[in-house]
Each structure stands twice: as structure tokens, then as C-alpha cells.
Amino acid sequence: MAGWTYLPRLLDKIRLAEAGKLHADYQPNYLYKGFDAKWLETAGLNAEEFVAVVKGSITDGEIADWVRENVEVDASTRDLFNDAVGNYGADESNTELRERLAQRKAEAGMADRDDVRCFVDFIDADEGRL
């Protein structure tokens, strides 16, 4: 969406939170930590401003248009962000992160899932898409 792989997920989380339906597991990292905060930081936006944009829009297309018009990030920065999020936890040399992923997999009953190689895979598996 507008070149950002994480943006659709963030929109869904904002809409769920605004409706009082954001799952408790996601609330600790909502907007101010994790990928949410990193996207807002990279896009140069504050959370309240972006939540207001989402609340004032009906379609994803409207938000994508707003992002294209208002987020002044060059394509290489956006691509680096997309790659970092998409591969977070996949780097075998980052033992601390690999151990955290292994712990999260074990806690979720997915310790034997070799197809879960990074945190995006973990989220997809946890939410039933993988």
C-alpha cells in the first residue's frame, strides 16, 4: 500500500483499536513500540496525527493517497524499512533475536515449524495465514 508493506497491518490495528476490538496481545506494542512505532518514525509522523487520518478516511485507497502526498520518504528509505520488517529475526547471526523468535514459537506451540523463519512469518502463522 503506497509502497509500504507494513501499512495495511497498521491500518487494521488502528481501526480495531478505535472500535475497541484490538486483541490484548497487540495492545502493548500498539503505536508506540515495535513495527508500529518504527513505521511512524520512518514516515515522519506522530501517532495521533496518523490515527486522525485513518479515522477521517473511509477506504484504504484514501489513506494510501494521503500517505503518497504527505509522507516525504525516499524510495530507498522505504525499501530498507520494508526489507527490515519483512526479514526481522531471519538473520542467523543475530542470536539474541533468533532466540526470542524461538521462544515465541515455543510459547505458541510452533517450535517445530521450520517454515516460520522470521517474525512476519510468526505473525502470519499465529494469525492462521501460514
Place of cell 520494508: 82
Q: Which residue has the cell 530498507?
A: 80
Q: Where are the domains of the chain?
A: 1-74, 87-130
pLDDT at position 123 over 90: no
Rounded Cα distance between 5 and 42, Å, is 13
Per residue in 60-112, pLDDT (tens digit) is 999 999 999 999 999 999 999 999 999 999 999 999 999 999 999 999 999 99
Burial of 26 (0-12, 13-18, 19+ CB in 10 A): middle
In one-letter notation, the amino acid at residue 82 is N
Question: CB-based burial of residue 13 (10 Å sphere; 0-12 exposed, 13-18 middle, 19+ buried)?
Answer: buried
Average pLDDT in the 30-43 region?
95
pLDDT above 90 covers a percentage of the chain that reads 86
Q: How many helices (H) and strands (E) does the chain have?
A: 7, 0
Query: Is pLDDT of 129 > 90?
Result: no
CA angle 116/120/122 to nearest 5° reads 40
pLDDT reading at 8 higher than 90: yes
Confidence label for 128 from pLDDT (cuts 50, 70 and 90): confident
Please say if the pLDDT value at position 36 is more than 90. Answer: yes
Residue in the structure block whose three cell numbers are 522505504 = 78
How much is the average pLDDT of 40-55? Answer: 97
Higher pLDDT, 127 or 41: 41
